[in-house]
Amino acid sequence: MSDKAIILYVCPNCFSTDTAPGGCPDCQRARVECDPGDSDNPCRKPPMDAKGNMTSRAPLWWLAKSVPHLREQMKQALSKK
């Protein structure tokens, strides 16, 4: 594991990435700062249901940053099962 945090800047529209903040050169939207965590961090994995099936292909760090309300709804739905 590295002591240095990995920070990515991702465009929420076209998903282009960069290591520096700023606007997306492809669609001119502001990139969102995201911290995907260490390589062994569970936030890099997609959310799973109780049977081990993926409930989204997006990693948890992306869901938490870009659509936190959707992530919360997924948690609530999974807890009812």
Amino acid at 74: M
Q: What tens digit of pLDDT does each residue of 22-57 get?
A: 999 999 999 988 877 787 888 888 888 888 888 888
Compute the CA torsion angle 68, 9, 38, 41 (nearest 10 deg). Answer: 20
By the 8 A CB rule, do 14 and 27 touch?
yes
Residues of the chain with pLDDT > 70, as a percent, come to 88
Q: Which residue has the higher pLDDT, 59 or 31?
A: 31
Instruction: Tell me, yes or no, if the pTM score tops 0.75.
Output: no
pLDDT at 78: 66
